[in-house]
């Protein structure tokens, strides 16, 4: 089971690095929106624990990220 956790953690880190490197060519507004959506989705999943709260958190985070970046 320990090997599965290591593989999962490595995969998660690789996805985070790939996701962050994709932000290099984005405009500032788009980058802030994407970051807000990601953080909002993670917060929604942590608080609500279901798909609806994750989507709601991502939508709210995207809007907030877009507006704060202006």
In eight-state DSSP terms, residue 59 is: H
pLDDT band at 70 (very low <50, low <70, confident <90, very high): confident
Q: How far apart are CA 41 and CA 56, in angstroms?
A: 7
Q: Helix (H, G, I), strand (E, B), or coil: what is residue 26?
A: coil
Question: Which position has the token pair 């995969």?
Answer: 11
Q: What angle do CA 57, 61, 64 make, to 5 degrees?
A: 145
Q: Mean pLDDT of all residues in the chain?
A: 83
Per-residue pLDDT tens digits for 6-30 = 777 778 777 777 777 766 778 888 8
Could you tell me how far CA 49 lies from the centroid of its own chain? 15
């Amino acid at each position: 089971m320990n090997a599965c956790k290591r593989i999962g953690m490595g995969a998660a880190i690789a996805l985070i690095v790939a996701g962050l490197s994709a932000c290099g060519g984005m405009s500032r507004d788009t980058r802030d929106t994407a970051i807000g959506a990601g953080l909002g989705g993670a917060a929604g999943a942590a608080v609500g624990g279901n798909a609806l709260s994750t989507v709601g958190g991502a939508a709210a985070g995207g809007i907030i990220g877009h507006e704060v970046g202006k």
